Structure 1
Amino acid sequence: MEAPERIDLVNPVVRRRLREADDDWEGYWARAAAELPWFRRWDEVFAWDPPGFRWFTGGQTNLAYNALDHHVRNGRAGHAALIALNERGEQRVFTYGQLQRSVEAVAAALRGLGVRRGDRVAIYMPTGPEAIMAMLACARIGAIHLVVFAGFGSSALAERIRLAGARVLLAADATWRKGTPVDLWRIASDAAGDPESPLEKVVVLQRGGSPVDLDPGRDMAWEEFLARGQGQSGDYEVMEANEPAFILATSGTTAKPKLAVHTHGGYQVAIRSAGAWCFGLRPDDVWWSTSDIGWIVGHSYIVYAPLLFGATTIAHEGALDHPGPETFYRILEEHRVTGVFTAPTAIRMLMRYGTEPARRFDLSSVERVVSAGEVLNAPAWEWFQREVFGGIVPVIDHMWQTETGGPVIGNPYGIHMLPIKPGSAGIPLPGYSAEVRRSDGTRCEPGERGIVVFPKPFPGLTPTIWGDPGRYGAEYWQRIPGVYYTSDAAYVDEDGYFWFSGRADEVIKIAAHRIGTIEVETAFLRHPAVAEAGVTGRPDPVRGEVISAFVVLRPGHDPNEALRRELVETVRRELGPVAVIGEVNFVSMLPKTRSGKIMRRVFKAVILDRDPGDISTIEDAGSVEQAREAWLQMREELQRQPGT
C-alpha cells in the first residue's frame, strides 16, 4: 500500500517498513523469503501472466521439511511441537523429533497406497494429531491435501472430493461435540459410495470404540494403512515453489464451493511473514489458534506457521465451552499460552457467560490475542480486552480470506503495534496493496464505502481455482478489471484504517443510503440484553429496503415488546434515523458457516419464505437434512412471534 497521507497514528518504524515495501516491492518479498530455508534459491521473485502469477520461480523447497526437519537438524528435536487436547480431557504431546517420525510413517504409508507427487488426498478428520500428521505427510511427499471439515454432510464431502479428483480419503469414525458423539464414518462412507467419486482407497482411524463396517475392496483401518509403509520411503520431495501444497474450499457463504490453491513457496513465505509482522510469532511461543484444521486459519495458524517458527502449537478438538465456559481459560492457564488466535463468534459465546469464569484462572502468560473471521464488534472487543484481560493484553482484529492464505490487513503487532480502533481491521500490512473502490473501478474517498480490492498479488494469494481457472479470472480479476475483487465492503478512514461492513452483496440499501450489516449488528450488541445479532435487508416499497433483525438474547432476558422497542431505539441512537428497522425477531440461534461466519442469506430466505439453497455448511448440522431443519426452526420461531 502507499503509506497513509495522514501519519499521526502510524509509528515511524511501521511507516518506514511500508515505504520500504512500496519502494522495492519485489526486493521486500525476496528479503521475507530469505527468512526461510531453501534447497535452491529462486531465479525470479515474481512473474505475472494475468490473471495467474508465479512467485519465487525456480526456487526449491518443501513446506513440511521447513516445518519439521529444519528444526530437528538445528537441535530442536526435543522441543514440544504439538499439544493435542480434546473436550474429553485427553492430552498428547509431540516433540519436533516425535512429530517428524510420525509424519514420516504416514508419508511412507501414503506411498504404500500408491500416492505420488501431485495426487490429491482428502482428509475428513477432526482437529487432532493424526489429521495434522496426514497434512504434513502429504506436503512431505508432494501430494496435495484437501481437508474437509469433519462435520460437513456426505453431499458436501462428496462434492469436494469430486472437484479435487481425490484418489484417497483419510477419515475418522467419530468426533465429539459438547459430549455428544458424532458419527463421521457414516458420512465418509456415504460420500465414498457416490457413483461419481474418484476415490480408490478409504482409510479410517477408529477412535469411537465401536466396530465399523469396512468395504474390503476399498476401505482399511489406520493400522493396516500404516503397515503399508513398510519398505517405503518417508523422505521428503524437493518441490518447485509454485507446485501446489494443498487446496481448500471456501467456507460456504456462496452456494458452490471454490477450491483455492496454495503453493509450497509463496504460501509459506506469506504465513511466516504475516505471523511475524501481524502476530509477533516466535520460537518460544505457546500458540493456540482455537480454529479447526478444516479452515484456512487452522491450516495456517494451527499447523504450518507455528511449526515454521519452531513454536509449540495447541490443537483442540471440541467445543470451547464444554464441559463449561471455564475450559477456554483453563487451557490458557495450564499450558501457559502466550498467544491466542480466536474468532468473534468465540468471543461473543464466552461473553454470554460473563467474566466470572475467567476470574478463576491465571491468564498472566497471555501476551496478545488476535481475532478474525468476521469483524470483531466493538462491544465484544471492549469486553474481552478490558474485562477479561484487564486492559493489559491487546486484542487485535485483522482481515483475511481462504484465498489469501494469511492476514492482509491488520495491526502490525510484531513490527510495532499501532493504536487499536475498536471495530477496525487495521491497515494493509507491509508488502500488501489494498484499496477501496467504486464498482466502476475508481478509488473511494476517505469515509466512502466501496469494495475492497487488491491492485496486485502477494505471495499468499491463490493463483487459481483448482480445475476452474476461468472462474478464477471471472470472479476475482474481471469484476473490476485489473484488480483482485474481494467481495468485501469497507471504507478507509483518514488515518488509513480499514472498516469492514460485510460482504458487498449484503450491504443494505435504505432510501438510497448504504449501511453495512456489521454496523447494524454492532449497534444491537450495544444493548446489554443482546448476545448475538444478525441482520439482512428486506424489500420495502417505499425505502427500497429496511432492516430485518434476528437477535439471540443473553440468559436472564425474555423477548417482549418493550425490549423490541429498546433495541430499535438503541440502533437508532447508534446509527441515526437512516437505520430503519422493519422488525426484530427473537431466535434461539443464528445460522453460521462451520468457520463461524453468519449466513445472512438464510435470514433472507426466512424473511422471503424461499428455499435458501445449499445450507449444508451451517454450524452444528452434520448433513443437508439437519441444516434444513435449522432453517425451518428459524422460520417456525418467526411465525410464532406476534405480528407475523
Structure 2
Amino acid sequence: MLFFKLLLYFSREGNHPEDYSRITYMKLMDLVCQFANGLRERGIGKGDRVSIYMPMILETVVCMLACARIGAVHSVVFAGFSSDSLSERMSDCKAKAIVTADGAWRGEKLLVLKNTCDEAIQKARDKYNHYVDMCIVVPHLDRVTPCGKIPDDVKTLYKWNEDVDVWWHDIVEGMSTICPPEWLTPDDPLFMLYTSGSTGKPKGVLHTTAGYMLYAAATFRYVFDHREKDIYWCTADVGWITGHTYVVYAPMANAATSVMFEGTPFFPDNDRFWAVCEKYKVTQFYTAPTAIRALTKFGDEMVKRHNLDSLRVLGSVGEPINPEAWLWYYNVVGQGRCSIVDTFWQTETGGHVLTSLPAATPMKPGAAGFPFFGVEPTIIDENGRVIEGVGEGYLVFARPWPGIMTSLYQDHNRYEDVYFRKFPGYYCTGDGARRDEDGFLWVTGRIDDMLNVSGHLMSTAEVEGVLTEDSNVAEAAVVSKPHPVKGESLYCFVILNEGAKFDADLIDSLKKRVRSRIGAFAAPDVIQHAPGLPKTRSGKIMRRILRKIAQGDKNVGDTSTLADPSIVDMLFLTRR
C-alpha cells in the first residue's frame, strides 16, 4: 500500500545542515489524521478556509493534507509576506483559522512569524472587519540549530493571546490516527492560492480536487521521468504554486521519495544546493533560473567539489531561462549528460503546460519546448488572428486541460475578464511567445513586458538574453521608456559579476552587442548599473517599478511584496 512505502524521506533538510529528518508515508498518514481530527474537534470542516503562514517544515505539509482530508480549503501565504499582505488574503478568503510557527531561520536571519500573524489578525479586524477565530502555532525555534543571536527563552520574542492562540501539540494531543475522509465531488475546492493582479488586488486562484490532482500527478510522472527508486528535490517554497504542485501533491500522488528544503542556496556556504544533492543522491533537481543565475557568479568550483553523478533530470521553473544560464546548468551541474526540462506554467494552470520531456523530445537552450499532452497552445496577434509557423505574438490556449483553475474566489466576473475576454475562445496566459523554424516554443515574457520600438515588437527576455551573454553581466532587466520619435526606447538595468567594471567602454560594448544580435532598432538608449533588482520573494522582477525608475517617477506604488524594498531607492540614486 502507498502509505507503507519508505518514501518521503520527505527528508526535510533544515536551514542549518545539522537539522534534518525523515518520515515514511505511514507515519505521515498518522500525523495528518491526528491534525485533521484536531481541526474537526475545533469546528473546522468542509468548505471552511484555513490560512497557512509557515516555513518549509513538516507541519506545513501535514496541515495542507489534513485540510484536504476533511474538505477544508487551505490558503497558503508565503511566510515572507508582510502582515498587510497576509491580512488582506486572510480577510478576502474569510479564513476561520490560521496556522503558523513561532519563528524560523532564513540563513542567518531570524523571522518571528508569530508577530507577523498577530499584526495581520489585528489588521484584518480593523481594516476588513474580519475576525480569525484561532491561531495554531508550531513551536519550531527551540528544536532547530540557532543560526544567529536568539534569547534563551524564545517565548519572549512574541506575545500569547489565550483567546486566539493554541499550540500545535495541544491540537493533536490524544487525537486518533484514524480519520475518515470527507467525501467530495470532483469540482469541490481543494485550495486557493493568491497571485498578484495587474490591478494590485491579489487574485484568489481556485483549484478543485479531481482535475488538479490528476494533472499534477501526470505532469510529474512524465516531465521528470519519475521511477520508483528516484529521489526528487524541488527547491520551491509551498507559498507558491510550484511548492503546492511539485513539492506536495504531485510527488505524493506518485509515491515519490522527495526532499523538502527550509534553507537558502547561500547558507552556510554558496554550495548548499550541491551539498544537498550529494547528501541525498538526488536524481531530479527542480529550481528557478533566478537561483541558477545567482549561483553562476560563484564559479564552477562550488559545483565540482560535490559528487552529482546521481542527477538525471534538471528542471527550471518560474521564468524563461536565458541560454547562458541553461548551458551552465547543463554543462556544469548536469555534466553534459542530464536532460533539462524548462517548464512553463502558471498558478492558474495547476501544472506544466509547455515543457520538454526527458529522452523523448529535443532540447534547445532557453526554449520552453512543446505542449504537454492535451494542451493546445496557439500564437495570435493583437487582433486575435492565428499566427501559423514561425512567428511571435500572444500565447493563448485553445482548449482546457484537467489542471486549469476553475475560478477566482468570489470573483468569477474577474476570472472571465482577465483570462477569456481579451481573446474570445482562448485562455489568455498574459505572456508572449514565439515559434521557431523547428517548432520550438519560446516564452518571451509578460504581454506588458513586450517592447514596441519604432514599430518593431520584441520581448524583454530577448534583449536581456543578449545582454547576459557578455561575461561581465550577471543579470539584466529591460523595460520601455517613452520616446518622442520611436514611441518607446529601451532602458536596461544590468547587475555585474564580481570584479567587473561599469564604464563607458562596457556601455558601448553592450549597445553594440544588442545592435548586432537583434538589430539597430533594438539598441538601448540607457544602460544603468544596478546593485540589485526589485524582486518579489518568489524571484519575480517587478518591471512596473523599473518602468517608474526609468521615467524618473518616484510614485512607484506598493513595495511591500519586494524581498528588499531598499533596492528601489538605490536604483533612483544611480539612475542615469
Whether TM exceeds 0.5 here: the answer is yes
Aligned position for 2:252: 307
TM-fit CA distance, 1:633 = 2.4
**1:615 equivalenced with 2:559 (yes/no):** yes
Any conservation in 2 of the 1:510–1:580 contact (CA below 8 Å)? no
Further displaced range: 118-127 or 390-399: 390-399
**1:152 equivalenced with 2:81 (yes/no):** yes
Aligned pair partner of 1:421 in 364, 369, 387: 364
**1:334 equivalenced with 2:269 (yes/no):** no
Which amino acid in structure 1 is aligned with residue 82 of structure 2? G
Any conservation in 1 of the 2:453–2:486 contact (CA below 8 Å)? yes
Any conservation in 1 of the 2:451–2:457 contact (CA below 8 Å)? yes
CA distance in 2, matches of 1:420, 1:488: 21
Within a 5 Å distance, the mapping from 1:334-483 to structure 2 comes to: 334-413=279-358, 416-483=359-426
Within a 5 Å distance, the mapping from 1:447-526 to structure 2 comes to: 447-526=390-469
TM-fit CA distance, 1:423 = 1.5
Which amino acid in structure 2 is aligned with residue 217 of structure 1? D
CA distance in 1, matches of 2:574, 2:16: 33
1:331–1:122 Cα change, 3 Å:
same
CA distance in 2, matches of 1:636, 1:226: 53
CA distance in 1, matches of 2:135, 2:184: 26
Aligned position for 2:12: 84
Aligned pair partner of 2:522 in 576, 579, 597: 579
Which amino acid in structure 2 is aligned with residue 506 of structure 1? D
Any conservation in 2 of the 1:88–1:179 contact (CA below 8 Å)? no
1:199–1:579 Cα change, 3 Å:
same
CA distance in 1, matches of 2:79, 2:172: 22
Aligned position for 1:197: 130
**1:279 equivalenced with 2:242 (yes/no):** no
TM-fit CA distance, 1:334 = 0.8
CA distance in 2, matches of 1:417, 1:535: 34
CA distance in 2, matches of 1:197, 1:232: 33
Within a 5 Å distance, the mapping from 1:617-632 to structure 2 comes to: 617-619=561-563, 621=564, 627=565, 629-632=566-569
TM-fit CA distance, 1:578 = 1.9
CA distance in 1, matches of 2:377, 2:460: 21
What do residues 119-159 of structure 1 show as CA deviations (whole Å, max 9, x unaligned)? 10000001110111111111111111000000000111111
**1:637 equivalenced with 2:547 (yes/no):** no
**What TM-score do you get using the length of structure 2 for normalisation?**
0.94
Aligned-partner SS, 1:239:
coil
Aligned-residue CA RMSD (Å): 1.6
CA distance in 2, matches of 1:573, 1:226: 64
Which amino acid in structure 2 is aligned with residue 84 of structure 1? R
Aligned-partner SS, 1:564:
helix
1:356–1:216 Cα change, 3 Å:
same
CA distance in 2, matches of 1:572, 1:184: 49
CA distance in 1, matches of 2:421, 2:493: 35
Which amino acid in structure 2 is aligned with residue 494 of structure 1? E
Any conservation in 2 of the 1:271–1:405 contact (CA below 8 Å)? yes
Aligned position for 2:29: 100
Of structures 1 and 2, the one scoring higher in RCO (CA 8 A, sep 6+) is 1
TM-fit CA distance, 1:232 = 9.5
What do residues 412-434 of structure 1 show as CA deviations (whole Å, max 9, x unaligned)? 22xx4222111210011121111
Structure 2 unaligned spans of 5+: 143-153
Aligned-partner SS, 2:352:
coil
CA distance in 1, matches of 2:381, 2:199: 22
**1:605 equivalenced with 2:536 (yes/no):** no
**1:110 equivalenced with 2:39 (yes/no):** yes
**What TM-score do you get using the length of structure 1 for normalisation?**
0.84
Any conservation in 2 of the 1:81–1:307 contact (CA below 8 Å)? no
The count of aligned residue pairs is: 557
TM-fit CA distance, 1:312 = 1.0
Aligned-partner SS, 1:581:
coil
Aligned position for 2:493: 550
Any conservation in 2 of the 1:548–1:581 contact (CA below 8 Å)? yes
CA distance in 2, matches of 1:585, 1:552: 9
Aligned pair partner of 1:238 in 162, 180, 183: 183
What do residues 534-561 of structure 1 show as CA deviations (whole Å, max 9, x unaligned)? 1100111111111111111111113222
Any conservation in 2 of the 1:446–1:491 contact (CA below 8 Å)? no
**1:217 equivalenced with 2:160 (yes/no):** no
1:180–1:103 Cα change, 3 Å:
same
TM-fit CA distance, 1:438 = 1.6
TM-fit CA distance, 1:81 = 4.2
Which amino acid in structure 2 is aligned with residue 634 of structure 1? L
Aligned-partner SS, 2:10:
strand
CA distance in 2, matches of 1:611, 1:340: 40
What do residues 80-134 of structure 1 show as CA deviations (whole Å, max 9, x unaligned)? 4411112212101111111111111111111122100111000000111011111
CA distance in 1, matches of 2:325, 2:24: 36
Aligned-partner SS, 2:422:
coil
Aligned-partner SS, 2:407:
coil
What do residues 364-395 of structure 1 show as CA deviations (whole Å, max 9, x unaligned)? 00001011111011010111101332211122
Aligned pair partner of 1:296 in 219, 238, 241: 241
Aligned-partner SS, 2:22:
strand
What do residues 30-88 of structure 1 show as CA deviations (whole Å, max 9, x unaligned)? xxxxxxxxxxxxxxxxxxxxxxxxxxxxxxxxxxxxxxxx612xx52x33441111221
Which amino acid in structure 1 is aligned with residue 556 of structure 2? P
1:317–1:254 Cα change, 3 Å:
farther
CA distance in 2, matches of 1:367, 1:125: 31
CA distance in 2, matches of 1:197, 1:226: 27
